[in-house]
Structure 1
Amino acid sequence: MFVFLRTTALVFALAGALAACALAFLTTASIVGRALWAAPLPGDVELTQFGIALCISLCLPWCQLRGANITVDFFTVRAAARTRRVLDGLGALTMSAMMALLAWRTAAGAVSVQESHETSMILGLPMWVVYAVLAPGFALTLAVALYQAWGHLRQRELPEVAG
């Protein structure tokens, strides 16, 4: 199970990185067009907003897998390893609940927006696609967080968690 989660999270993160690079090129082209010809790319702000949301969604599973989310361990630095693992397990359960909610609501939002035929203001892109592409990243983060919660609460070492 771990190999599948790790491989899928890595693929998602690489896709998110490629999307971020594409957004950097898009933004650069728009700025150059605006500066040299007073003609930015139409819809550049829309595409950047959609793309950044996609990048975040795709990179979240890898971030969770690596234990790279923000943690506040000021009060637990001196706690026993068992106590820290239980707290990490509860944190992972909380993260999984949040990701379950986000995955469910973005998928439901995609269906709702598709039914209403909503489009973006400038480019006229179907908005349901924006919602739909976010759900898989949230769902994978949910799976990773559940795996971590199970490992922490069973007092097992998790191979990918940094530090």
Structure 2
Amino acid sequence: MQTFNRLTGWLVGGLKAGGGLCLVAMMALTCLDVVLRVAGKPLEGAVELVAWLGALVLALALPQTQARQGHVGLMSLVKRLPRRPSLVVQILAALGSLALCGAAAWQCWVYAGQLAEGHEISMTLGLPQHVLARVVSLGLGVTCLVIAGQAAALVKKAVRP
């Protein structure tokens, strides 16, 4: 389990760094576009690139947010329950999250395949659309790994007397 957590942590850190780079690129591109618009020479495709970068930031930040348990949780309900029922609720919530996240990751991957087969590209810059869907699927997949690790830790905690 320790190796799994280490590997997952490495993946989360890599995606977090990629998301941070996308965020910096988004800011730099927006600033550059504003300056160039004032000069009368706006960047073609800047809005499209900023939208892509925003989607990448969200997809790459999901695993880190889950690892830090930054999502809205059931804690107000769970805090009032005794230890074992609280752990059962948390395990069920984790398993439900894992199922939903796994289904979303799988469907994003399938959709990316359809986009690739259809040679779908973005309107202004002609970027291949399937790449964005693959990265979103990757972010969701790593989020599944994080949730699985958290669920395993909860089960271990529940089994321990």
Question: TM-score under structure 1 normalisation?
Answer: 0.87
After the TM superposition, which residues 107-118 of structure 1 pair with which residues of structure 2 at under 5 Å, given as runs?
Answer: 107-118=109-120
Query: For residues 81 and 32 of structure 1, do their structure 2 counterparts lie closer, same or farther at Cα, with a shift above 3 Å needed?
Result: farther
> 1 CA distance for matches of 2:146 and 2:21?
22
Q: Which amino acid is 1:25 matched to?
A: A
After the TM superposition, which residues 92-103 of structure 1 pair with which residues of structure 2 at under 5 Å, given as runs?
Answer: 92-103=94-105
Question: 2:14 aligns to what?
Answer: 11
Shift of 1:73: 2.6
Question: 2:68 aligns to what?
Answer: 66
Instruction: For structure 2, list consecutive stretches of 5 or more residues without a partner in the other structure.
Output: none
Shift of 1:146: 1.2
After the TM superposition, which residues 1-163 of structure 1 pair with which residues of structure 2 at under 5 Å, given as runs?
Answer: 1-34=4-37, 36-155=38-157
**Any conservation in 2 of the 1:82–1:155 contact (CA below 8 Å)?**
no
Deviations 1:47-70 (A, max 9, x none): 112111111111111111111111
Q: Which amino acid is 1:39 matched to?
A: K
> 1 CA distance for matches of 2:127 and 2:48?
9
> 2 CA distance for matches of 1:81 and 1:24?
45
Identity %: 30
Shift of 1:115: 0.9
Instruction: For structure 1, list consecutive stretches of 5 or more residues without a partner in the other structure.
Output: 157-163
- What stretches of structure 1 move > 6 A for 4+ residues in a row? none
Moved more, 42-51 or 71-80: 71-80
Question: TM-score under structure 2 normalisation?
Answer: 0.88
CA RMSD in angstroms comes to 1.5
Counting matched residue pairs gives 155
Shift of 1:141: 0.5
> 2 CA distance for matches of 1:23 and 1:31?
12
Shift of 1:96: 1.1
